[in-house]
Every structure is written in structure tokens, then in C-alpha cells.
Amino acid sequence: MNALQSISRFFFIVLGCAITLPTVAQVSSEVQQLFYRGYLTTEKAPWEQAIEKINQDTSLDEIEKLHATTEAQTGLLIYAMAHQDEATYDAIADDLEGSLKTILKEDAEDATALAKMAQLYGATMAFQSWRAMYLGPKSQKLVDQALEAEPENADAWVQRANSRLFTPTMFGGDIDEAVECFEKAVQYYEAQPDYAKNWRYLNSLAWLGQAYQKSDQPSKAIATYQKALEVEPSFGWVKYKLMPQVIAQSSNK
């Protein structure tokens, strides 16, 4: 794998990262449940249904709607990456970027919007790898800005962790630092109210477990996956793929 491919792979992975979303918490519980279901099932429909519900919600102001809608669109980006569905990416990318720019025009230090923009650049690079050398540094700079604005932003810590986990060592990769960053992200999620109902918390646990695996700490990986399954027993990615994988690796040693 060459350097450009490695950078592109990193930003592909970043698409699944967690984001701290104080504004989205104001949407209805029905919409939050659609977010959660969309992540767990890796299906497109719940994210689209969430956008419909958000547009119909007259209790939200313009910025709140933009935050909520960009959350659902980010979910659709994750769906597009998982299914290699470039048509879905093409359908939402420009609108998502425009909405994020509007949010950042109102508040240039909105850590959530900064992190989402970094995710969008990640999707762009995954479908258009030739743009990685240009968008890669911009995406990492956005993560730095998000952390400067909000040091306890769980998403920014996960994104930094993924940078250290998937970037080649010669370009700044560091597995030990990745583990530390994932641990911080989980810690910051667990400090939030109702964190167990947030799909992004589950996602951060899944990535922490994988970081433990890559750093040759299988017992910690298993404990982390067990923790995720205690929160959500139907977490298929962990239950049917990640947990069996680390158990198999451990038994072969």
C-alpha cells in the first residue's frame, strides 16, 4: 500500500467516528431512535426518515435543523461508504457541505460542524483518492480546530485516534497514542447524559477495541467489546465480527 492509498484508507475509516452533538440532542426521541437504528442496521431508510421528521419539526430553529439534518446526512455518508454507494454520496455531499458552511459562518468554532466537515472530506477522498494529498491536511487541521474549540469533544478525539491508528508511522501514525485518544473519547462520552443511547458511543467502543487488538492487547479488546454488548446486545458488528475475530486471534497464539 503506497502513501496515498494509506492516507485515503485513514480518511475512509474516519467516516465512522463519533461526534459530540449538543444541538442534535434537542430533536425528538423518535429522530434520535432513527439515528440509532440507522447505525445498528447499516440501512439507508432510517437516516432518510430522520431527515423527513426533522424537516417537519416546527419546534427547531434554522441552525438546530441544520445540525440535525447534517447528523442524518453524515449517517448517509457512513452508509455510502459501507455499501460503496457513490450515488448516495453524490446526492448529499454538496448539500451537506453547504449546510456546514452555514453553521460555521454563524459560529466558526462550532466543534461539531468542524468535525463533520472533516468527515465529509474523508468521504470525498474515499471516492476520489486523488484528492487525498490536498484534502487530507485540511481534514486534520479541522480536527485540531475542533479540539482547540472544545477539548472534550469526543468526535475530535476519535478522529485524532484514527489518524494515529491508520496513518503510516513515517507520516505520524502511533498505535499507543491512538489507544490513548480512543480511551479519552470513551471517557468523554460516558460523562454525557444518556450516553448509552447514543450510537456514536457504541461506535467509539468498537474502535477502541480494534485499537487494543492492533496494539496486541486482546484481553482489553474483548473486555471493551463485552462492554459494548452490555450496552447494546444486538450490536451486530461487534457480536458477529469483531468479538469472534479477536477471540480467534487469541486462541491461535
Instruction: Kindly report, residue by residue over 24-58, the tens digit of the pLDDT.
Output: 547 889 999 999 999 999 999 999 999 999 999 99
Half-sphere exposure of 125 (CA within 13 A, CB side): 28
Q: How buried is residue 168: exposed, middle or buried, by Cβ count under 10 Å (0-12/13-18/19+)?
A: middle
Q: How many Cβ atoms are within 10 Å of 245's Cβ, its own excluded?
A: 16
Is pLDDT of 20 > 50? no
In this structure, what are the phi and psi dihedrals at residue 229, rounded to the nearest 5 degrees? -75, -25
Question: How far does Cα 248 stand from its chain's mean position?
Answer: 27
Q: Tell me: the pLDDT tens digits for 180-238?
A: 999 999 999 999 988 998 988 999 999 999 999 999 999 999 999 999 999 999 999 99
CA distance 71 to 91: 15
Measured torsion, CA atoms of residues 34, 39, 40, 45, in degrees rounded to the nearest 10 = 50
Tell me if residue 77 falls in helix, strand or coil. Answer: helix
- What confidence score (pLDDT) does residue 110 get? 94
Share of the chain above pLDDT 90, in %: 67
Domain boundaries, the chain: 3-251
Q: Give pTM, 2 decimals.
A: 0.84
Residue among 74, 96, 77, 95 at smallest CA distance from 87: 77
- How many other CB atoms are found less than 10 A from the CB of residue 206? 21
Contacts of 21 (CB under 8 A, 6+ apart): 67, 71, 112, 200
Q: Give the gyration radius of the chain's Cα atoms.
A: 17
Please give the Cα distance from 43 to 24 (Å, whole number): 20
In this predicted structure, what is the pLDDT of residue 253? 65
Find the largest Cα–Cα distance for the chain: 58
Please say whether the structural domain 3-251 has been given the CATH code 1.25.40.10.
yes
